[in-house]
Amino acid sequence: MLNFSFQNPTRIVFGQAQLAKLSTLIPTGSKVLLLYGGGSIKSNGVYDQVVKALSGFDWQEFSGIEPNPSFETLMRAADIVRREKIDFLLPVGGGSVIDGSKFIAAAAMFHGDAWDILANGARVTSAVPLGCVLTLPATGSESNGNSVVTRYDTQQKLSFSSPLVYPKFAILDPSVTFSLPPKQVANGVVDAFIHVIEQYLTYPVNAPVQDRFAEGLLQTLIEEGPKALRDPDNYDVRANIMWAATMALNGLIGQGVPQDWATHMIGHEITAVYGLDHAQTLAIVLPALLQQQRQQKREKLLQYGRRVWQLQHSDEERLIDEAINHTRAFFEQMGVPTRLADYGITADAVDILVAKLEVNGMVKLGEHGDITPEITKQILRSAI
Ligand code: NZQ
Ligand code: ZN
Q: With contact defined as beta carbons under 8 Å apart, do 120 and 158 qualify?
A: no
- CA 308 distance to own-chain centroid: 22
Residue 72 lies in a domain: yes
Say if residue 82 is in the same domain as residue 213.
no
| Number of domains observed in the structure of the chain | 2
Q: With contact defined as beta carbons under 8 Å apart, do 3 and 34 qualify?
A: no
Residue 1 lies in a domain: no
Query: What CATH number is associated with residue 113?
Result: 3.40.50.1970
For residue 178, name the pLDDT band (cuts at 50, 70, 90). Answer: very high
Q: With contact defined as beta carbons under 8 Å apart, do 336 and 283 qualify?
A: yes
| Residue 112, CB-side half-sphere exposure with 13 Å CA sphere | 9
Say if residue 257 is in the same domain as residue 135.
no
Mean per-residue pLDDT, 314-340: 98
Quote the pLDDT of residue 131.
98
Could you read off the pLDDT of 282-324 as tens digits, one per residue? Answer: 999 999 999 999 999 999 999 999 999 999 999 999 999 999 9
Could you read off the pLDDT of 194-234 as tens digits, one per residue? Answer: 999 999 999 999 999 999 999 999 999 999 999 999 999 99
Say if residue 80 is in the same domain as residue 130.
yes
Q: With contact defined as beta carbons under 8 Å apart, do 101 and 136 qualify?
A: no
Residue 252 lies in a domain: yes
Say if residue 257 is in the same domain as residue 331.
yes
Residue of the nearest CA to atom 46 in ligand 1? 139
Share of the chain above pLDDT 70, in %: 100
Could you read off the pLDDT of 18-62 as tens digits, one per residue? Answer: 999 999 999 999 999 999 999 999 999 999 999 999 999 999 999
Domain boundary among 117, 150, 176: 176
Does any ligand 1 atom lie closer than 6 A to the CB of residue 250? no
Residue 236 lies in a domain: yes
Q: What is the pTM of this model?
A: 0.98
Does any ligand 1 atom lie closer than 6 A to the CB of residue 175? no
Could you read off the pLDDT of 94-110 as tens digits, one per residue? Answer: 999 999 999 999 999 99
Residue 5 lies in a domain: no
Beta-carbon contacts of residue 195 (< 8 Å; ≥ 6 apart): 139, 140, 245, 248, 249
Does any ligand 1 atom lie closer than 6 A to the CB of residue 180? yes
Could you read off the pLDDT of 53-69 as tens digits, one per residue? Answer: 999 999 999 999 999 99
Say if residue 225 is in the same domain as residue 340.
yes
Residue 52 lies in a domain: yes
Quote the pLDDT of residue 182.
98
Does any ligand 1 atom lie closer than 6 A to the CB of residue 67? yes
Of 254, 99, 238, the C-alpha closest to 174 is 238
Say if residue 249 is in the same domain as residue 129.
no
Quote the pLDDT of residue 202.
98
Could you read off the pLDDT of 123-134 as tens digits, one per residue? Answer: 999 999 999 999
Say if residue 128 is in the same domain as residue 201.
no
Distance in angstroms (rounded) separating the CA atoms of residues 158 and 148: 6
Beta-carbon contacts of residue 250 (< 8 Å; ≥ 6 apart): 8, 10, 140, 143, 144
Question: Largest Cα–Cα distance in the chain?
Answer: 66
Centre of ligand 1 to C-alpha 98, Å, is 8
Distance in angstroms (rounded) separating the CA atoms of residues 116 and 150: 13
Beta-carbon contacts of residue 359 (< 8 Å; ≥ 6 apart): 156
Ligand nearest, relative to CA of residue 276: 1
Say if residue 265 is in the same domain as residue 342.
yes
Domain boundary among 176, 199, 219: 176
Domain boundary among 176, 200, 216: 176
Does any ligand 1 atom lie closer than 6 A to the CB of residue 131? no
Say if residue 64 is in the same domain as residue 170.
yes
Say if residue 251 is in the same domain as residue 372.
yes
Q: With contact defined as beta carbons under 8 Å apart, do 107 and 76 qualify?
A: no
Q: With contact defined as beta carbons under 8 Å apart, do 159 and 149 qualify?
A: yes
Quote the pLDDT of residue 99.
98
Centre of ligand 1 to C-alpha 94, Å, is 4
Mean per-residue pLDDT, 346-360: 97
Say if residue 277 is in the same domain as residue 333.
yes
Domain that holds residue 38: 11-176
* Order of strands, sheet of 58-62, starting from the edge strand that comes earlier in the sequence: 11-14, 169-172, 132-134, 88-93, 31-35, 58-62
Residue 6 lies in a domain: no
Distance in angstroms (rounded) separating the CA atoms of residues 277 and 165: 24
Q: Among 42, 49, 148, say which to mutate for ligand 1: greatest number of ligand atoms within 8 Å of CB.
A: 148
Beta bridge partners of 14: 172
Say if residue 157 is in the same domain as residue 189.
no
Does any ligand 1 atom lie closer than 6 A to the CB of residue 32? no
Q: How high is the mean pLDDT of the chain?
A: 97
Query: What CATH number is associated with residue 232?
Result: 1.20.1090.10
Does any ligand 1 atom lie closer than 6 A to the CB of residue 102? no
